[in-house]
Amino acid sequence: MIPLISDDAALASYCQRIAASALLAVDTEFIRQSTLYPKLGLIQLFDGEHLALIDPLAISDWQPLKAVFANTSMVKILHSCNEDIEAFATIGIEIISPLFDSQIAAQLLGWGTSVGFANLVERITAQQLDKSETRTDWLARPLAEKQLNYAANDVLFLYPLYQALQQELSTEQFKLLLAEGEQLMQRKEQKLAPEFKYLEVKNSWLLTPRELAVLRELVSWRYQYAQQKDLALGLVLKDAQLFELAKRRPSTVESLLNIPDIPSRDARRHGQTVIQLIEQAKALPQEECPQRFYHQEDFIGYKQEVAALSAVVKQVATEQQLPAEFLSVKRQLNEFVNWCWRVSDQQRMALPLPEYCQGWRKELLLPYIKIPKHIATQA
């Protein structure tokens, strides 16, 4: 049976043993069924020689692993790592550098947008991974030998995947992947403040200023409530429900029951708070309500702006011989549109810089994008 590292001294010893390694395959197992944050149940590491399964429920001193992850001479290999990054943040690990994501590498090679780990393993090694433990409760103890072997395979196979992918990648593609790894880590630090999270709600740009004021209050409250209770956002209220509340602006708890898909239990649990927030937004002076768009004299329209940016992305991707979905996803495009047009000049100063204006994307995209005059100096 594969032993678990379950004390600080054993973790420190392992980290010291691999300190000079050039590569480290990394994976996590976590539970995230109803919580806002992932609950770490296991950490798997493999440097090509030394395998470690770490029990995060038993470790209190993460400094040795922090040092390993911050060691820029050692490439950390992960697959589809966004949630792994979030999971590591829950134990204070904020730096993973350099970071190589094998799913993004497959995308860059034109093998597909979201290639699963098992499919990638089968493509490269012709072996089929056991998927029988995908629904394991990784917080339960003790973990069975079959569960530990399943978890270990994730890094045991990830290591040769990296070697195979690296042979397929050009030098420039490899550099681009490491640059994207840096961007993935920065993204975690650049999330919107609660008062701006309404911008991420689908179709919120269709709402009137007063409706946006209501949406802003409700979305901000939901996020802060979810943080306090560690609840998934959708278990508090779903985006579609908040959108409908912003449009209808009910004035009594009873009228909440007329909103489609709001269960009576949620109306009872959050009703008074929701009605109070709606009334506060209703009472705001018009000039304090968010506008649909600012600088409208220069704005060509939301759909037209999105279409123009999408065309730029396709053009640059073709010229650079990159998959368009690697260069930009819809979230990044919407982020740029929101930053340009959906906040005031003063509010923009409090927002993170869009990814179109950072790192390698800035170098490729900004020469082709018509930057609005009111943000030219900031971009």
Report percent pLDDT > 70 for the chain. Answer: 100
Give me the pLDDT at residue 131, please. Answer: 81
Residue 259: which pLDDT band, with cuts at 50, 70 and 90? confident
Most confident of 133-137, 240-244, 264-268: 240-244
Angle at 103 between CA 74 and CA 333, to 5 degrees: 110
Q: What whole-number distance in Å separates Cα of residue 296 and Cα of residue 308? A: 17
Q: Contacts by 351-360 with C-beta closer than 8 Å and gap 24+?
A: 351/192, 351/196, 352/190, 352/191, 352/192, 353/190, 353/378, 355/183, 355/187, 356/328, 356/332, 358/183, 358/186, 359/179, 359/182, 359/183, 359/186, 360/176, 360/179, 360/180, 360/183
Q: What is 302-375's CATH superfamily?
A: HRDC domain (1.10.150.80)
Q: What is the pLDDT of residues 196-249, one digit of tens each?
A: 999 999 999 999 999 999 999 999 999 999 999 999 999 999 999 999 999 999
User: Does residue 378 carry a pLDDT above 80?
Assistant: no
**Which residue of the set 14, 27, 47, 55 is catalytic?**
27
Known catalytic residue: 29? yes
H runs (alpha helix) in 169-208: 171-189
Q: What whole-number distance in Å separates Cα of residue 41 and Cα of residue 59? A: 11
Q: What whole-number distance in Å separates Cα of residue 76 and Cα of residue 88? A: 13
Give me the pLDDT at residue 203, please. Answer: 96
Contact of 117 with 129, CB cutoff 8 Å: yes
Beta-carbon contacts of residue 238 (< 8 Å; ≥ 6 apart): 261
Q: Which regions of the chain carry the CATH code 3.30.420.10?
A: 4-189
Cβ density class 296-318: b for 16+ within 10 Å, e for less? eeebeebeebbeebeebbeebbe
Give me the pLDDT at residue 271, please. Answer: 92
Residue 346: which pLDDT band, with cuts at 50, 70 and 90? very high
**Which residue of the set 47, 55, 154, 305 is catalytic?**
154
Known catalytic residue: 298? no
Q: What whole-number distance in Å separates Cα of residue 241 and Cα of residue 224? A: 17
Contact of 13 with 34, CB cutoff 8 Å: no
Residue 65: which pLDDT band, with cuts at 50, 70 and 90? very high
Q: What is the mean pLDDT of residues 340-364?
A: 95
Q: What is the pLDDT of residues 22-47, one digit of tens each?
A: 999 999 999 998 999 999 999 999 99
Alpha-carbon torsion 118, 121, 122, 127, what sign?
A: negative
Known catalytic residue: 14? no
User: Does residue 1 carry a pLDDT above 90?
Assistant: no
User: Does residue 314 carry a pLDDT above 80?
Assistant: yes
Known catalytic residue: 230? no
User: Does residue 260 carry a pLDDT above 80?
Assistant: no
Q: Name which of 165, 11, 13, 149 is nearest 75 in CA terms.
A: 165
Q: How many CB atoms lie within 10 A of CB 128?
A: 10
Give me the pLDDT at residue 370, please. Answer: 86
Say whether domain 194-288 belongs to CATH 1.10.150.80: yes
Cα dist. 283→63, 67, 183, 213 in Å?
Answer: 50, 52, 40, 10
Q: Is the entire prediction scored with pTM above 0.85? A: yes
Single-letter residue type at 2 = I
- Choice between 133 and 277, residue whose per-residue pLDDT is larger: 277
- Choice between 266 and 195, residue whose per-residue pLDDT is larger: 195
Give me the pLDDT at residue 256, please. Answer: 87
CATH of 4-189, one of 3.60.15.10, 3.30.420.10, 3.40.50.300, 3.40.190.80: 3.30.420.10
Return left, alpha or beta for 292; rule: phi > 0 is left, psi -120 to 50 is alpha, else beta.
Answer: alpha
Q: What is the mean pLDDT of residues 95-115?
A: 95
Give me the pLDDT at residue 18, please. Answer: 98
**Which residue of the set 55, 84, 101, 305 is catalytic?**
84
Q: What is the mean pLDDT of residues 43-67?
A: 97
Contact of 183 with 39, CB cutoff 8 Å: no
**Which residue of the set 29, 47, 180, 355 is catalytic?**
29
Q: What is the pLDDT of residues 143-184, one digit of tens each?
A: 999 999 999 999 999 999 999 999 999 999 999 999 999 999
Average pLDDT value over all residues in the chain = 94
Q: What whole-number distance in Å separates Cα of residue 358 and Cα of residue 379? A: 9
Q: Which regions of the chain carry the CATH code 1.10.150.80?
A: 194-288, 302-375
Contact of 77 with 178, CB cutoff 8 Å: no
Known catalytic residue: 84? yes
User: Does residue 376 carry a pLDDT above 80?
Assistant: no
Give me the pLDDT at residue 278, please. Answer: 97
**Which residue of the set 14, 47, 150, 198 is catalytic?**
150
Both tokens of residue 16? 């010291």
